[in-house]
Amino acid sequence: MNGRIITPNSEKILLEEIARIGPEQVAQKIMAPKGIFRIIKLEGINCAAANILKQEMLSRGGEVVVSSQVYRLSAGAQTSALLMGTMAQFRELISKLRMQSLSSLQSVADELVRLLSSAGSPVGTHTRIDGIDFQWNARTYVMGIINVTPDSFSGDGTNGNIEKAVEQGKRFAESGADFLDIGGESTAPGSNPVSAEEEISRVIPVLKKLRQETSIPISIDTSKSEVAKAALAEGAGIINDVWGLKKDDRMKNVISREKAMVILMHNRHASEEVRFENKIGGFYQGADYSDLIGEICNSLRESINLALEAGIESEKILIDPGIGFGKTPEQNLQVLRRLPELKSLGYPILLGTSRKSFIGRILKRHPNERLFGTAASIALGIAGGANIVRVHDVEEMMQVACIADAILV
């Protein structure tokens, strides 16, 4: 019989398998949605809506998990719900919900439509930056890191040497980098903050020279509006804010006014001090989350709303789960395992795992000895839905991204 379990990771693969068997053309379109299974989590569903959802999915052969309070019909009870079913079952459910009078069920239907459509493509499938069109579903893009700092955790900081930083940027561009990301303040666990004036004095000279030497888009890694304003005036096209517009109230307006692109990263203060280990460097040893992925998604939604309310166009928003920021090494691994869930937010995903301490803890190696560990995390991150990878080793990670993309097409 030569039996095997088919595990399609896209509708395209499923359709290929169906067509290979040879059913009627009309039947193929009917069968495909029955073979794609989805598990969707919704939060804050009221008791009445949860019971109707449960009944409707059960009647179609699906399932809905709700809290025990819902079964007891507790007054005012709210629950999270896990809806489990095929695409065909979800489509039938949405049609049924549209006929219900409860406004909460209409909202559920709207959210289901959004989630099911966002699973494959970001809300803005392409973005034009500095005259270059980036097609988020075409391939993975690579961002090269330029640390103009004396205390970079990875050991690649240029320590104020403008020429060294510019040469690094030119080398990255020649190696095929799609973006350059210049940072003037280390954001590694336990690093010391610097003033806006110091940060500007580090990044602007490098930015000016690189603008003359290369045409690829340049991002500035900063959470200070003064630095962002100065950098955008000198030709930067992207602001990479590791606090997701939540640290400096003026940042969102600066970005909106200049019609720049923004990277919104998840971050939070960890609950315990940073721990330092020989070879590994610093990492957070305590960070309390009751629902890690749920809280990351909720925090990123808040950042997205801040951006949209300020007038930043949705096509100019990228999100970053913040590997290494306010998370323990074990939590970083969990984020990578569940990275596909962030696609539900509907925005392109930037992933930064390069040389980070969670890799060092596993391999027991210094930052500059983590090339292969980084490559593994990048490849799996691309498989999980990353659209841009931010790296120290551009030439090598370009190859990783190229092979990962070829496999995933």
Q: What domains are there in the chain, each with its CATH number?
A: 36-118 (3.30.1370), 126-408 (3.20.20.20)
Per-residue pLDDT at 151 exceeds 90: no
Cα separation, 8 vs 10, whole angstroms = 5
- Asked about 355 being catalytic, the answer comes back as no
133-142, 164-173, 273-282: range with lowest mean pLDDT: 273-282
pLDDT in tens, 214-259: 999 999 999 999 999 999 999 999 999 999 999 999 999 999 999 9
pLDDT of residue 120: 57
pLDDT in tens, 359-405: 999 999 999 999 999 999 999 999 999 999 999 999 999 999 999 99
pLDDT level of residue 8 (50, 70, 90 thresholds) = confident
How high does pLDDT run on average in the chain?
A: 91
pLDDT of residue 121: 63
Per-residue pLDDT at 274 exceeds 90: no
Sign of CA dihedral 25, 26, 29, 30: negative
> Mean pLDDT over residues 131-158, rounded?
82
Give this prediction's pTM.
Answer: 0.92
- Asked about 356 being catalytic, the answer comes back as yes
Per-residue pLDDT at 93 exceeds 90: yes
- The sheet carrying 317-320 orders its strands as 317-320, 261-265, 238-241, 218-221, 179-183, 141-147, 388-391, 350-351
**Marked catalytic residue, from 356, 364, 365, 370:** 356
Per-residue pLDDT at 170 exceeds 70: yes
